[in-house]
Amino acid sequence: MNKLFPSGTRLPLVDTIRDTLKVIDIKGLKEINKCIIKKAVENKVFENGTIDGYTVVAIDGRKFF
């Protein structure tokens, strides 16, 4: 986790992350994700299966997509 945040930033506590994940709206996040992907395709962000030359993979804990 240290590489995700600038140095000197206090990292979130495990309890805070757990409590947030308990109440998060998964359906809402899925809709937001769909809209982002749709807009990226419309704006031709994907070129030859990459984004700016980078290959991107998402992991949701069950499968790759």
- For 22-47, the pLDDT digits (tens) are 998 889 888 988 888 888 878 877 77
Task: Find how far residue 23's CA is from the centre of its chain.
Answer: 17
Model confidence pTM above 0.75: no
pLDDT at 65 over 50: no
Compute the mean pLDDT over every residue in the chain, rounded to the nearest whole number: 79
Angstrom CA distances, 11 to 2, 23, 48, stand at 8, 20, 37
> To which residue do tokens 């030859």 refer?
48
Q: Quick one: pLDDT band at residue 63, thresholds 50, 70, 90? A: low
| Per-residue model confidence (pLDDT) at position 19 | 92
Task: State how far the Cα of 56 lies from the Cα of 40, in Å rounded to an integer.
Answer: 13
